[in-house]
Structure 1
Amino acid sequence: MEPTASFVDAMRAQPENLARARETVLRDLASAGLPRWEAGDSVAVVAMGASLNSSHALVAALAGAGHPAGGVVASDLADGLAVVRADHNIVVSESGRSPEPLAAARKLAAGTRIGISNFPDQPIRDEVDAVLGLGGFPDSPVYTSGFTATILAYALLLDHVGVREGAAEAERIPGRVADVLRDYAEAAETVGRVLAGAKTIDVVGRGASLTAAAELSLMVREGLRTPSAAFETFQYLHGPMEVLSDDDALVIFGDGREVSIPSSVLDAGVPVVLVTAADPATIPAAGHANLTVIPLPAGLGLFERAIVETVIAQLAIAAAIEHKPYPLEEFLYHQDDTKLPVR
């Protein structure tokens, strides 16, 4: 059996697990024989669930470096509902046993497939050309360490193939996460109360911050059993926000258009959480009773920020579950076909 941990234990073990992942990914990259990528090479990230949520940070980093990139729902590719013709394909499965990414990998050209998994000796190894292991650490059923370690692996991968510098950023990440776990615990209690009291929760972000937005929404659904959806910032303005009421909550990640979104809903009684590195003076509704602003440290790298935002979201979930009459790790509905047997 794969080692597992409680949500809180896995969350708090992230500094050590991320340091372990960094060492493991660097070792695997050194032996993988991957060529440097050419300017403009295209990239697809093929995954399901939380692993697909992690792809937003990678896609944003690749776009910033001039590489066409996108996340692909693995089941769509496996069943012929999507076609991928990318120069490089990143197949992500934390367990290494999710059947959809493995079936999708068989549709991809040999020589283009790089796997990322916490358990690289599971069936994923048979379906890709090289696999980067995260270290085999225990993770929670609602993923924590494996999710952030996947993002760290993206930083090291892009550094290794010459797309963008990421080694120094990856080296900072374990210590940065330790700081977040310590420094944001009190703020997370406030956000946790907002989440626990909401009937539905919308989460908004764009670019690399859509990583944390999408993952928080999934954690809300999986862990808190509360309806939730994540939206790209500008998509959210085109209709989805119209359902908000004072029974709901809105969580926003970002520094651009995101900082003015709260102004349109706060007076309707909607509790809003804004996670941002923006100067407080640029937030129009700063000081409103229904707005909680969570300030981010300045100068974060793209992957570093995606991880920091995610860990803040994890802390909020851990705080919110304290207001619920059920445990975070207890799933109601079990599916028999979302994982292959453990080797």
Structure 2
Amino acid sequence: MSRITFREGQAEQPRALHTIASHVRRRLAEPDLAHLRGAARPLFTGIGASHAALAVPVDLLRTRGVVTQRVLSSEIGQDARGFEADVVIGVSQGGRSTETLAAFSQLRDVPRVAVLNVTPSPLSSLADHTVDLGNQPDSYASTIGFTGTVVALDLIASLISGASHGDPWAQISAQALAVRDRTLFALATVQARAARCVAADVVASGTSRTSSEEAALLLREVARMPAAASVTRNYLHGEMESAGQTLHVVFGDGRELALARTLSAAGHLTLLVTTQQVDSGPDLAVVRLPEAAPSARVVLETVVAQELAGSLADERGIAIESFVFANDDTKEGGVDPADFAISSQRR
């Protein structure tokens, strides 16, 4: 896999998503993955952004009656007991996350499927089967690798459940381009104020928990803004009381609409990402999404999150991907210093 900048990843992402969907479909049609169809208790595991992506297949499969869960790879690493799974699906875009490698080493009595971008890799060598994205070029703060993983996990969930919900990826390239333009328009008048916020709360429910968790991570990695992801109903039970000099990013069409209005009416800067027609206001910016299947919607929400994080980095004078900490025990073989030498140019 070749390394590209964050901005290059954003630009290439619409085209890459279509390519990834076709590549993964061909892979899932191969005979060695037939055992995924009808899996009764799939266990999904990953760390960091990969764990965030797993909210998509878990929510989809539970909706379709499949018993499943996602678990941090580090929670499996020391003891494999307690996870009654008939298949383990581990995600690591580069295939080098030490925690996911440790989990696959422990879970030897159950089929292990690795979902990754980079092949070959340490994780692919441990896995019984792999589903790869095709070694797509990706940025260090992942763009294409993350959204491509969401595409792959949606297709895997459909294979497991046997459910057919049409092709949610047929229009994804055009939709991603349109949503990025809408985000730039919505941020134009609020990004300077947003960059002065001391922290961000990102709120969502259902499959969009993936979007909220990824957005919070991007705000930390790219814009160096303290950020936390919350589930909508939990946020209402006290978490929102800390609002103050805080940016609020809200994904959703249900209770999220009233939440966004409540926050903005109290003078708290809020970005609402929704398919509904909602008027913006002095403290409320709105990005309207097209109607889309849940997984495709997550990809579009992530497009918004990427543009938000990049724009705030620019406003705060931070070179994108100029990471501060290089933890050499999170990737097998350590961190490649060359990754830190690639920083996106400001617009």
Alignment TM-score > 0.5, same fold: yes
Aligned to 1:79: 78
Report the identity percentage. 30
- The DSSP-based 3-state class of the residue aligned with 2:54 is helix
Decide whether the 8 Å contact of 1:61 with 1:208 is kept in 2.
yes
Aligned to 2:303: 311
Of 20-29 and 230-239, deviating more is 20-29
**Inter-partner Cα distance in structure 2 for 1:179 and 1:130:** 36
**Inter-partner Cα distance in structure 2 for 1:333 and 1:52:** 20
Decide whether the 8 Å contact of 2:36 with 2:159 is kept in 1.
no
Aligned to 1:333: 325
Distance of aligned partners of 1:24 and 1:167 in 2 relative to their CA distance in 1, 3 Å threshold: farther
Aligned to 1:201: 200
**Inter-partner Cα distance in structure 1 for 2:209 and 2:87:** 22
**Inter-partner Cα distance in structure 2 for 1:40 and 1:29:** 14
Aligned to 2:344: none
Aligned to 1:173: 172
- The DSSP-based 3-state class of the residue aligned with 1:304 is helix
**Inter-partner Cα distance in structure 2 for 1:38 and 1:22:** 18
**Inter-partner Cα distance in structure 2 for 1:267 and 1:49:** 34
CA displacement at 1:339 relative to structure 2:
1.0
CA displacement at 1:4 relative to structure 2:
0.9
Aligned to 1:322: 314
Distance of aligned partners of 1:82 and 1:262 in 2 relative to their CA distance in 1, 3 Å threshold: farther
CA displacement at 1:111 relative to structure 2:
4.7
Of 157-166 and 13-22, deviating more is 157-166
Q: What is the 5 A alignment of 1:31-42?
A: 31=30, 33-35=32-34, 41-42=40-41
Distance of aligned partners of 1:86 and 1:68 in 2 relative to their CA distance in 1, 3 Å threshold: same
Of 123-132 and 79-88, deviating more is 79-88
Aligned to 2:91: 92
- For residues 48-101 of structure 1, give each alpha carbon's deviation from its aligned partner in whole angstroms, at most 9, with x where no partner exists: 000111111111111111112221100111023873222222100000111111
Once superposed, what is the RMSD of the aligned Cα atoms?
2.2
- The DSSP-based 3-state class of the residue aligned with 2:29 is helix
Aligned to 1:121: 120
Aligned to 2:342: none
Structure 2 counterpart of 1:313, one-letter code: A
**Inter-partner Cα distance in structure 2 for 1:260 and 1:36:** 44
**Inter-partner Cα distance in structure 1 for 2:41 and 2:145:** 25
Aligned to 2:258: 260
Q: What is the 5 A alignment of 1:244-283?
A: 244-245=243-244, 247-280=245-278
Aligned to 2:235: 236
Is 1:301 matched up with 2:301? no
- The DSSP-based 3-state class of the residue aligned with 1:66 is coil
- The DSSP-based 3-state class of the residue aligned with 1:148 is helix
**Inter-partner Cα distance in structure 2 for 1:268 and 1:257:** 17
- The DSSP-based 3-state class of the residue aligned with 1:224 is coil
Decide whether the 8 Å contact of 2:90 with 2:113 is kept in 1.
yes
Aligned to 2:338: none
Aligned to 1:283: none
Aligned to 2:159: 160
Aligned length: 334
Aligned to 1:19: 18
- Structure 1, unmatched stretches of 5+, are 281-285
Decide whether the 8 Å contact of 1:155 with 1:167 is kept in 2.
no
- The DSSP-based 3-state class of the residue aligned with 2:163 is coil
**Inter-partner Cα distance in structure 2 for 1:196 and 1:100:** 33
Structure 1 counterpart of 2:95, one-letter code: G
Of 158-167 and 209-218, deviating more is 158-167
Aligned to 2:52: 53
